[in-house]
Amino acid sequence: MIHTVKRTFAILLMAVFGSALLYNCEPEADSLGEQLFIDGAAEGNVTSYDLIAYNINNHDTIRSDAGRLVSLVNTSTSYSAAVLGAFSEGQFGMQKASFLTQLRMSTDNFNFGTTPKVDSVVLVLKPTPVADSLVTRPVKDESLLVGNETVPVSTTIKSYPTDYSFKYGKMKLGPGGTHTLLHINVDEVTTFLDGNDPAFKRSNIVVNTGTALGSTVFDGNVTAKTITKKSDNSTLFTSDAGIRIPLNKNFFQTMILDKNGKPELMDAANFTRHFKGIKLSVAETDGYLLQFSPNDMELIMYYTNEVNNNGVVTRPQSNFKFLLTGNVGNARFGQYEYNRAGSAWATASSNINEIEGDTKLYMQGMGGPSVGVKIPDATIANLKTLYQNDKAAIISAKIRIFTDAATWSNNYRRTNNNFSILPIDKKDPATEVLTSSGFIADIDAGFTWLKSYNLDKNPSYYDFTITKTVKEIVEGTAENKTLLVNIGQFISTGTSFLGYKYTSRAFATERGVYVGSDKTNPNRIQLKITYGTKK
């Protein structure tokens, strides 16, 4: 269907840009040629062309090592993200996320003193809390051993719900909503996590675990604790809002303090082979996926050691923090597992049609399916004819994709920017891994290449701007490549993108079903071309 929109393109563009062919950062009207600069007005036409859009089965695996868990990079540091939890629903089946990481001594060959003894060990996760949703529990009065003295103390606990934008799945969304509990487990990893080995870079990595180190029940809230001495109100202990998981102190006694002064604790090379790492997982197969920053994790060991001062023996308490951040070289991985049995995606993945396209399109982060989009050669030929014979100039070219109204539910959170698009340069025939060599031309040019519409409605839709990409194809300077669309946005440096290889796909929890090449559906995926011809 063609809608004719009469505009004075030439006059307007001459006034704004002069006679040069230019693009701006939001190309609502971009020219493929200089025909629009001919004297007189132009007539604009909006034409819709069908696209070949099909599902891409990534076989539930993705690069998920430390280099792919980067969420933001700026001039001073980089930020990371990881996912923990599980979520099951009918369209994609079950998706479960665990996290593996090495840890290191904060000081190599640290001296823990004479006859050191572990008091307690705690692992702290710090999901983003909602700061203005504070719930303060009643102050608890108790006694606490401080050095060699038992003193009365008061404990204040503040509770905050974790930010909804970092959760995905079944969770409390308001009064009457579900509030699934997650049982978080921490286990010793007994396989050396070699970050330089390609086998340890993908999400379907298999590792062995040993001692169960600890567990907790997470109810969706994080807590901050302050302990004060009642006699003078001085602060004895304070903690930021987080999930505190008590760990097996006997394990750390044997693994750490009993090795005091021995080669196992001498340096990072020895230590990461002695204590190979930890695994965080959940017991459930349904609940929600929780995104958190692994760089904010803390593993703290509280211990005492014998001190002799002029014949007076005391055992003061100290603490020792292990390094869990990625900037010290710790290997870390997102480990993902799936059960697709009975899901709509299991059916769709067995009937992919790359020639004519699929009627429904499935996209999911963390190694789930992607979508390939191809402009038919006949459409390119038609556009070339318009360009060469009719002196038509394409003003705008967009891929419009609608969510599938029939499968929409509250399980799918819509975001306006959590996609990426790249040209497919080749496909490995053995592994089926797709590779690209750069951004599409529109992103390279700095265009606003993605916009969302009606996110609060069913259906909603997205426009991917490919004006410059189509221009180069029609003018014969570029190949008509299939475009790869993924869940997961390009990683930002604050002012630009880090690079075409870097997206949030490895830790993006979203998924969705979209209308594909279904000729019976008015919301089918289409190429929207606006072109101008001289009156």
- For 491-514, how does the pLDDT look when each residue is reduced to its tens digit (9 = 90+)? 999 889 999 999 999 999 999 999
| pLDDT at 10 exceeding the cut of 80 | no
Which amino acid, one-letter code, is at 19? S
Q: Distance between CA 152 and CA 229 in Å, rounded?
A: 6
Give the pLDDT of residue 37: 36
In the chain, the amino acid numbered 141 is D
Strand partners, 64: none
Lowest-confidence region among 46-50, 179-183, 184-188, 474-478: 179-183
CB 158 within 8 A of CB 134: yes
The pLDDT tens digits for 426-481 are 988 888 889 999 999 999 999 999 999 998 888 999 999 999 999 999 999 999 99
pLDDT at 34: 42
Q: What is the pLDDT of residue 251?
A: 98
Bridge partners of residue 302, in order along the sequence: 120, 319
Give me the phi and psi of 249, to 5 degrees please: -70, -30
**Would you place residue 33 in the very low, low, confident or very high pLDDT band (cuts 50, 70, 90)?**
very low
pLDDT tens column, 160-171: 888 878 889 887
Spatial neighbors of 70 by CB under 8 A, at least 6 apart, are: 78, 79, 80, 81, 491, 498, 502
What DSSP line would sit under 285-325, residue for residue? SSSEEEEE-GGG-EEEEEEEEEEEETTEEE--EEEEEEE--
The residues, ordered by sequence, that sit 6+ positions from 198 with a Cβ below 8 Å of its Cβ are: none
Q: What is the pLDDT of residues 349-397, one digit of tens each?
A: 999 999 999 999 999 999 999 999 999 999 999 999 988 887 778 899 9
Q: Give the CB-side neighbour count of residue 39, counting CA atoms within 13 A.
A: 0
Arithmetic mean of pLDDT over the chain: 86
Q: Is 3 exposed, middle or buried (0-12, 13-18, 19+ CB in 10 A)?
A: exposed
| Confidence (pLDDT) at 535 | 57
Q: What does the pLDDT read at residue 19?
A: 28
Calpha distance 160→132 (Å, rounded): 8
SS3 content of the chain, % helix, strand, coil (to 5): 15, 40, 40
Q: Describe the crossing of helices 377-389 and 467-474 by its angle, rounded to 10 degrees.
A: 80
Supply the pLDDT for residue 262: 97
pLDDT on residue 144: 61
In terms of Cβ atoms closer than 10 Å to its own Cβ (0-12, 13-18, 19+), residue 131 is exposed
pLDDT value for 367: 96
Q: What is the pLDDT of residue 44?
A: 67
Of the candidates 379, 359, 284, which has an alpha carbon nearest to the alpha carbon of residue 521? 359
Q: How far apart are CA 478 and CA 40, in angstroms?
A: 31
Under 8 Å CB-to-CB from 127, ≥6 apart: which residues? 162, 163, 166, 222, 242, 243, 290, 291, 292
User: What are the pLDDT digits (tens) for 226-245?
Assistant: 888 777 777 777 888 899 99
Residue 348: its H or E element: helix 344-349
CA distances to 464, 481, 482, 483, 489 from 478, in Å: 19, 9, 12, 13, 25
| Region of poorest pLDDT, from 71-85, 104-118, 182-196, 498-512 | 71-85
- Token pair of 297, please? 């994790």
* Mean of pLDDT values over 175-193: 83
Can you give the pLDDT at residue 410?
Answer: 61
**315 pLDDT higher than 70:** yes
Written as six digits, the tokens of 329 are: 């070289």
Decide if 178 contacts 170 (C-beta within 8 A). Answer: yes
Nearest to 31 by CA among 48, 7, 50: 7
pLDDT of residue 61: 95
- With cut-offs at 50, 70 and 90, classify the pLDDT of residue 147: low
Q: How far is CA 298 from CA 97, 117, 143, in A?
A: 20, 20, 26
Residue with tokens 């719930």: 135
